[in-house]
Amino acid sequence: MKFRGMLALLALTGNLHATELLWVPEGADGIPVVLTPARLRQPQSEVPASVTVIDRELIEASGARELYELMRLVPGMSAVKADGNVPTVAYHGTQARDTRRMLVLVDGRSVYQPGFSRVLWNDIPVAVSDVERIEVTRGPNAASYGANAVTGIINIITRHPQDSPDGSVMLRGGNNGVSDAHVTNTRRWAEGAVRTTVARRSDDGYDKPFRGREIRDAKVVETLDMRLAHDLTARDTLEVFAGGARSELERLEDGALLDFSAVYGPPDEQMRSGFAQLRWQRQWSPDHASKVQFYAQHSDGALRADVCPFDPLTGQVGPGGGLLYSRELRELYEASNRDVDATLAAAASDPAVMQRYMTLISSGAGPFCHRLLQDVQEQRLDIEIEDTLRISDQIRLVAGANARHDRGKSAALLKGRAHNNSYALFGNLELIPLQALHLNIGGFWQWDQINSARFSPRVAAIWRLAPGHGVRLVYSEAVRNVDLYEEKANTGLRAYNMPATFRADTVGLLGWDQPELFVTQTAEGNLKPERIRSREVGYFGRFMQFEVDLRVYEESLRDLISEPTNPFRFDATNDNQVRHRGWEAQTSWRPHPQHLLRGTYARRHTEADVVPESRLAARHISSMLWRYDFREGWMFSSAYYLARQYSSRFTHEQAMAQLTRRVPLPHGELALSAQVEHNLSGDSVVFRRNDYRDRSRYWVSAALNF
Amino acid sequence: MPPIQSARQRMRLTRAIACLRAVVWGMLLCACVARADTGIALAVSGAGDTFQTRFGEALSASLQEKGERHHWRAPARSELLIALGDDAFRGALMLQRPVLGVFVSRQVALDAYASGCACSAFFQEADPVRQLRLARLLFPGARRIALVTSPQSAWNAGLLLAHAEAHDLLIEHHTAVNAGDLARGLPRWLAQADLLLAVHDPELYSPETARLVLLTSYRQNKPVIGPDEFFVQAGSVASSYTSGADMVDQVADAVARFRKRGRLPPPDFSDHISVRLNEHVARTYEVPLQDPGSLAQQLMRQSTQAPSTQERGETPR
């Protein structure tokens, strides 16, 4: 033990006790000020939005296998598999497959696909066990994150590699074909660490036959995820993220396809995706931080189906089916103002079409069976710089700039490539003019080649009744940008893998060398971005072990593109609007150190002028969760989820129970878990065909962490 | 033995003895008067010259305020030797004088006390129970407290568990042998807790591990309380601690008691404390900003309301 003189002490401890008689134990004098962003972070009662935070404790208690399932804990969030293997997650969702109006970030990287306005939840390469926290902002947040944060934003934050176990192996199995596994490895060194996770999950989807037919919605998803963090200096941190996913999905036959084809090779969808991301953060001082981030991502998907078109005259499979892919029928279709019914009605009387038909019939060829391929490739390059500065205790500023290049390629949907460059400037100013009053003024100005210049503002006033209590008034606007497909769609479903006879003389039999289905769609390129205007009154309060957040809102969505935009029907207009009004509450209460109770409720009234915009508009959505750590190493949790009136009639009501035992081992622990989920309502999920054979699904898992 | 020769000789002898008695009584009286004038003989040892001098000056001032007379003597001739720090405390014990250790490691002090020394000490460590009380003042909703100690600081758990049980709190105690253990375990342990109570343990909470501890807790949104004011400056939310000035007051009280009762209290944590609060970090965690002085007063009030070590009939903590 030794002492330091005061002079030395002052030099060592800066402003600490400048004139105080201070005892400095050995070793204590060298503790550096750890520059964390904590000083720049807003407490929840001061955030100018309604926020739901799902932390590790809730994630464990939820028993979620897949990321999307965690979203059921968010008030007002629809998180269901509208198709058995494709999750739909939408805050204040309207369309059943609508993920277009909500932004999803993983570690600051947008996984919102630029070309076709969607979020591929299956292909997000993050295992649930690697998620540290999910922060969901309910309500438009384009002022902070730019276009497409229309109804809300989900920010998934993965576990820092320093916080990951050295190694982990997990196996899970159960009914409904559930078979999951993951392996995690973490390497550490003095200044950093890297975590790598390889995971695989599969299930059978909705497995109850519908109208006598099996539902094709099984899936297999494999992901790889790497996160590296390295402290370059005490002020600089470099992070590298990389990963990818590979998914194989069974798909249902498209209704339009079945109208004119026999499907002999049922559709399957394959997706390959990958990304790399670099992030450099510098903490200039406790009150000033900068961040530069760059990422590149690529996805390559294809929906395949093997079909034999019906002969339009006989209605049977045969060589006459080739007529649907003939040049002459395409020309008639164009001459009929792209009206499918009018085209088919006029075909029998069109000499050129009939000539083509006779050629096919007399060719001696077999049925015109071939493969349909709907290919989609999307790429994004994105660079962003952000600066956070606390100018004084009363003024804080976050500002930055972003540049982005989006590119899409699809033979079936774009007949080639399309791209879009965008540039953005953003800023958010937090002012505290009075101790109890916080003002937040922000905006995101964005220009891109398709949507031109747009500005998304937000103004919020938060009255802090007391520390930990805030009443907020928020007004915000946001846009969903018209995507590459909506702007530049030019569809053409080509016939691949044709029979040898057709391959040998394609021009002779079908009139052109690259035959396409006669139906084609072209975007007119005159769409405007969808817009939302939101007003809300909210309250966040914390009383001892009880937390509550309330939100009362009115949201008006205009210029919506609601009608189908697929290769068979493309009715893209800005004609529709939706209005939501309602209120939401989320509470969390820890009555005892071993018990956690959490509940959410959302009541929504939606006015939509077209049916598709109300399919996912559940009037009541609620959840309840109880976690009980009842003995050393034992945990029981139970959850209840309710969503009323999906598709105006189906109630989704589900209960879950989970028991987990953690067994300490000499160098780690073994976690054993058993879980059961039960469909209480017995209703289908969103659509009539979505049912499980067994209303209870259960699985067990074993995880070795070391 | 020769017989007494005469009455005159006997008378002379009697007078001589009376004179001698008078001289001795006179000397004793002088000594008593001298003592009454200058008070208890104190000495301070240890620490650097600057700190020792300032501590001595501050102690003199505090004792004078209390009306306690004292004077300074060389350590070997003092009536009470105040030793600053472990090394000085160990050295002082060799002098066979009553010793009051100040800023002494709890273990060093208790070892000496158990061996029967005429000594006591005020620990350099913060009282973990008081730290827990501080945590509860700042985070009334926190019920699950993560406590990570090495085997050397595991005694903290013993003190905390009894208090926690009485206040319906859950102490999640984990042991980490070294910083590597801490790095691997802390993320998992924090996930099950509302906050981390960091205790004095140079193995686990040091300049080398401060970044690890604070960044890990920040990432999980779990505040850290303690272990000392230096960690607060680095980024933990708050800590109670004993400043030099607090310790001066503490020692002045102990000297006064020693003068009155002739014995020292058992080794213990200091009753006089300060609180340091990192306002920026506290604001992030939505802690109502309070005056650190007022927090310290509340803690000291709570300490006086709680039964003391002696009243509980326990061995010194």
State the 10-residue block means of pLDDT for chain B, 317 residues long. 56 64 53 58 84 89 88 88 92 90 93 91 94 94 94 94 89 93 90 93 90 90 91 92 91 90 90 91 84 92 64 44
* Lowest mean pLDDT across A105-114, A191-200, B43-52, B55-64: B43-52
Residue in A with minimal Cα distance to B58: A21
Smallest CA–CA distance, residue A73 to chain B, in Å, is 19
Q: Is residue A146 part of a domain?
A: yes
The beta-strand segments (E) located in A435-545 are 437-448, 452-466, 469-480, 495-496, 530-543
The minimal CB distance from A286 to the residues B103, B280, B287 is found for: B280
pLDDT tens-digit series, residues A513-556: 999 999 999 999 889 999 999 999 999 998 888 999 999 999 99
Q: Is residue A623 part of a domain?
A: no
Q: What is the distance between the alpha carbons of residues B278 and B281, in angstroms, rounded to a whole number?
A: 6
Q: How many CB atoms lie within 10 A of CB B195?
A: 24
Which of B233, B287, B290 would you mutate first to test chain A, the one with the most A CBs within 10 A? B233
Q: Are residues A26 and A53 in the same domain?
A: no
Q: Are residues A475 and A577 in the same domain?
A: yes
CB burial of B101-121 (b: ≥16 within 10 Å; e: otherwise) equals bbbbbbebbbebbeeebebbb
Tokens, residue A612: 């598709």
A153 pLDDT more than 50 = yes
Q: Are residues A24 and A110 in the same domain?
A: no
Residue in B with minimal Cα distance to A21: B244
Contact, A331 vs A521, CB < 8 A? no
Q: Are residues A10 and A115 in the same domain?
A: no
Tokens, residue B171: 């102490």
CB contact under 8 A, B248 and A21: yes
**Touching check for B214 and chain A: CB below 8 Å?**
yes
- pLDDT at residue A583, as a whole number: 97
Concatenated DSSP letters for A197-225?
EEEEEEE--S-S-BTTB-----EEEEEEE
Q: Which of B242, B209, B280, B284 is nearest to B130 (CA)?
A: B242
Residue type, position B220, single letter: Q
Smallest CA–CA distance, residue A188 to chain B, in Å, is 10
Confidence at A15, pLDDT banded by 50, 70, 90: very low
Q: Is residue A103 part of a domain?
A: yes
pLDDT tens-digit series, residues B109-141: 999 999 988 899 999 999 999 999 999 999 988
Tokens, residue B159: 């003190």
**Touching check for B248 and chain A: CB below 8 Å?**
yes
**Touching check for B10 and chain A: CB below 8 Å?**
no
A39 pLDDT more than 80 = no
- pLDDT at residue A35, as a whole number: 56
Q: Which of A571, A606, A641 corresponds to the end of one domain? A: A606
Angle between helices B210-219 and B179-191 (to 10 degrees): 20
Q: Are residues A98 and A15 in the same domain?
A: no
Instruction: With residue A326 as reference, give the H or E element that holds it.
Output: none
Q: Is residue A343 part of a domain?
A: no
Q: Is residue A353 part of a domain?
A: no
Q: Is residue A342 part of a domain?
A: no
- For the segment A155-181, the average pLDDT, to the nearest whole number, is 94
Instruction: With residue A102 as reference, give the H or E element that holds it.
Output: strand A102-106
Q: Are residues A10 and A64 in the same domain?
A: no
Q: Are residues A24 and A131 in the same domain?
A: no
Q: What is the distance between the alpha carbons of residues A512 and A503, in angstroms, rounded to a whole number?
A: 11
Q: Are residues A128 and A13 in the same domain?
A: no
pLDDT tens-digit series, residues B168-211: 899 999 999 999 889 888 998 998 899 999 999 999 999 889 98
CB contact under 8 A, A6 and B50: yes
Q: Which of A579, A606, A633 corresponds to the end of one domain? A: A606
The minimal CB distance from B233 to the residues A13, A44, A166 is found for: A13
* Lowest mean pLDDT across A115-119, A409-413, A604-608: A115-119
Q: Which of A584, A606, A628 corresponds to the end of one domain? A: A606
Q: Are residues A12 and A49 in the same domain?
A: no
Tokens, residue B212: 């690890």
Q: Is residue A96 part of a domain?
A: yes
Contact, A596 vs A587, CB < 8 A? no
Domain tally, chain A: 2
Specify the length of chain A in residues: 706
The minimal CB distance from B48 to the residues A3, A31, A32 is found for: A3
Q: Is residue A629 part of a domain?
A: no
Q: Are residues A571 and A509 in the same domain?
A: yes
CATH number of the structural domain spanning residue A446:
2.40.170.20
pLDDT tens-digit series, residues A459-482: 999 998 888 899 999 999 999 999
CB contact under 8 A, A162 and B212: yes
The minimal CB distance from B233 to the residues A27, A33, A163 is found for: A33
Domain that holds residue A22: 6-31
Q: Are residues A10 and A98 in the same domain?
A: no
> Domains, chain B, ranges and CATH?
39-124+244-261 (3.40.50.10330), 128-241+273-305 (3.40.50.2300)
Confidence at A213, pLDDT banded by 50, 70, 90: confident
Q: Are residues A83 and A190 in the same domain?
A: yes
Residues on chain A touching B126 (C-beta within 8 angstroms): none
